[in-house]
Amino acid sequence: MTQDVKNKTDAEWRELLSPDQYRVLREKGTEPAFTGQYHDFKGDGVYRCAACGVELFDATAKYDSGSGWPSFFRPVEAESVIERADDSFFMRRTEVLCAKCGSHLGHVFPDGPEPSGLRYCMNSASLDFTSRGEQ
Ligand code: FE
């Protein structure tokens, strides 16, 4: 499923997404730790943007960070995501957005494993898993 996401209105996003997805993807919410469907999920496949369907992360880059959110050490392509300074909540963090549709995915932190040393800390609600072979 790849949606045409250019110029989608707020009303259209609300119709397309579940309330939880809308709150994370379009309002930059964060789901509570250990509550999302993918934090402890180990399926082999790819994780797509739940808003527009573009491939964002491969299961081979997923690791158990112990954080309670699905964590990856790199996106499928560097160009798959946009990283932006986020100084909200009195913290200096780096927000991660879908490069195609601009939806909020989570944050990236410099405490991940090699080879990247990065932890892409994502919300399950922003992702849509597809098993390998069903793509
Ligand atoms: Fe997207």
Span from the CA of 97 to the centroid of ligand 1 (angstroms): 8
pLDDT for 1 equals: 47
pLDDT for 4 equals: 61
| Interatomic CA distance for residues 81 and 48, integer angstroms | 12
| Interatomic CA distance for residues 48 and 46, integer angstroms | 6
Residues serving a catalytic function are 121
| Interatomic CA distance for residues 8 and 25, integer angstroms | 13
- Distances in Å between the alpha carbon of 115 and those of 7, 18, 66, 78? 37, 35, 18, 14
- Taking only the tens place, the pLDDT of each residue in 22-78 is 999 999 999 999 999 999 999 999 999 999 999 999 999 999 999 999 999 999 999
Span from the CA of 21 to the centroid of ligand 1 (angstroms): 12
Per-position DSSP letters for 83-124, written without gaps between them: EEEE-GGG--EEEEEETTT--EEEEEES---TTTT-EEEE-G
pLDDT for 7 equals: 75
Name the residue with tokens 């996401």. 5
| Predicted model pTM | 0.93
Span from the CA of 87 to the centroid of ligand 1 (angstroms): 22
Phi, psi of 51, rounded to the nearest 5 degrees: -90, -45
CATH superfamily label, 6-134 = Peptide methionine sulfoxide reductase. (2.170.150.20)
Residues in the 5 Å CB sphere of ion ligand 1: 49, 51-52, 98, 100-101, 103
